[in-house]
Each structure stands twice: as C-alpha cells, then as structure tokens.
Structure 1
Amino acid sequence: MAAPTATPSLETFQQLVATVAQSLDGRALDAELATWLNAHYGADSAWYERMRAACASGVAQGWLCQRENAGIRWGRVFEAGPALGGFSVDVVQMKDLAGPHHAHPLGEIDLILPITPGALFDGHPAGWCVYGPGSAHRPTVSQGEAWVLYLLPAGQIQFTRAAA
C-alpha cells in the first residue's frame, strides 16, 4: 500500500514561494523576467504543479483566499520580508470579472493558475506575467476562473479611482 500523500500546508506554500522570490534579487521587473520565470517555474514545471496543489489545499483548509468581496476571494498570505526576497504575497481567486484598479509603485509579479482550463489573467494564460515599476491595471480574469499569486516588492500597491 502506498504512503498517503501529504496535504500541502502553509509552510509548504511559503517554501515554494521562497524558492522563486529569493532567485529574483537584483532582477529588473520587466518582460525578460517574465520569460525567465516561465522558463524555470512555468506552467509545464513540477514547481508549478506543486504550487497549484498548495493553492487548492490552502483554499480548502481556509488559510488562502479567506476574504471575499464583490465576487473576489483574496488575502495577503505573507508580509514583505527577507525570507521572501522582500516581496509580500497575495493570492486572489476570480471568475470572469475585473478587480479594482491599482498601481504598482515598484512593480508586480503575477503567477496565473487557472482553475478553469484556458482561463486568462489580463489576457495571459497559465504561467507568469510581470508589470514594471509605475504600471497600473484593472486585474481581469476572463474565460473562466483562476487563482493569481501576486508578488509585490516591499508590499507596495496603491488602489486608485481610475475609470473602468
């Protein structure tokens, strides 16, 4: 009889994020970084499958996406700190909707984990996208439902009143 598979925990989730976040030191938040992340930790990688399982487990256990407002489940999982390369970690769960407009003073790194096969985040499929410093957007999930993991340098985000 096979040994039972361990359910991913908050500690497992943190270790997975730290693996990526600590490798980002000194890298510019730009399209080249998105290409690098997709090559090393992209949707076809074992790391990505472990992160996907950790997100599913975290939601089921109640420590991930524990808040809800206007059809968006969300939560800050970790504040910015040295263990995570100076990034904070947030995860949202959205289905076919746009979230609140916000700006990224220092940039934003996003991991798209479709729950519905083919779901997109801001037009991006499963994997990574990167917004540079000073960028802004209204985060939008289309063609289904997805989790999106946000890495924010120093935890910086500014919600705005930009028109839809």
Structure 2
Amino acid sequence: MSQATFRAALAELGAQIAGRAFDADLDAWLNLHHGAGSVTYQQLADEIRTGVAEGWLCNREGGGIRYGRIFKAADDLAGCSVDVVDMHDLVGPHHRHPNGEIDLIIPVDDGATFDGRGAGWLVYGPDTAHRPTVAQGRAFVLYLLPQGAIEFTGQ
C-alpha cells in the first residue's frame, strides 16, 4: 500500500460525500454504508496501519500525539484535507471546525474511543469545537477538514 492507493480510496469516498452537509444525517449514512465491518472501513484502517508502520503517516509528534497532514484540501477529496493522528489515553488541544469535520475512528486497543465513540465515523458540523479525546487505549483517527480549515483556540 502507498500514499497513492490511500488517496484513491479516499477519493472514492470523497465522490460520495461531495456536496453533502456535515450533519447527523451524514454521520448516520457514513456509519451505515462505510462503518466498522465494511469493506471501505477495513481498507482505510489497513492503509492507516500500514502508513503508520512505514512512517508516511503520523510522522510528527507533539504533546504526546503523533500526527500528520497527509493531503492538502483538494477537489478529488471533496474539498477536504486529510490528517491522521495516533493518540493513546489523551486529551488533545481545543480547536474549532469552521466548516465541520469528519472523523474515522480506528481503535488500536479493544474498547478505545474517540470523543466517546468506538470504531466508525463521527461528523461534526460547521462552527463546532472540541478537545479531541481518546480514552480506554490507543486509536488512530483520520480527520477530513473542508478547505483544511481548523482553528486551534488555546483553551
């Protein structure tokens, strides 16, 4: 697997979500059609595990979080940037999503959660904010950010 195959898988998903509102309906749709146990979920999870192991994902570290922006916002990615983080029982920095955020949660440890959710998708709408929290173990989280927009608040 490579960055090219990872991008191709994300572009396929991007074509399906392009133009959709970042809301509870998208959250439900992603979990129904591409949730834990689906081919899409397994492919992305495998590619993330491989990318972390090979060092082309999560190749930076700060505050106990391994992270990295793998792709800048692009049309083939539904206008989103792509970041992946590797967190273990940690509360991350508070930030705001001006345009929303889609998260793919991949627990590494059984029972690990991200913002209280297990394996699957979590959608935050525009103008939401949070302190990203991984509890009960280690998890990888993929972030899709429209136009790459994120504002760290320092709170």
SS in 1 for 2:111: coil
Runs of 4+ in 1 over 4 A off after TM superposition: none
1:4 counterpart residue number: none
User: Which of 88, 91, 96 is the equivalent residue of 1:95?
Assistant: 88
- Alpha-carbon RMSD: 0.7
- Measured after TM superposition, the shift of residue 104 of structure 1 is 0.3
2:110 counterpart residue number: 117
Q: TM-score, normalised by structure 2?
A: 0.98
1:72 counterpart residue number: 65
CA distance in 1 between counterparts of 2:74 and 2:44 reads: 20
Larger Rg: 1
Q: Give the count of matched residue pairs.
A: 155
Q: Does 1:153 align with 2:146?
A: yes
- Measured after TM superposition, the shift of residue 154 of structure 1 is 0.4
Q: How do 1:2-151 and structure 2 match up within 5 A?
A: 8-151=1-144
SS in 2 for 1:80: strand
Given that residues 19 and 78 in structure 2 are in contact (C-alpha distance below 8 angstroms), is that contact kept between their aligned partners in structure 1?
Answer: no
- Measured after TM superposition, the shift of residue 16 of structure 1 is 1.3
* Unmatched runs of 5 consecutive residues or more in structure 2: none
SS in 1 for 2:117: coil
- Measured after TM superposition, the shift of residue 145 of structure 1 is 0.3
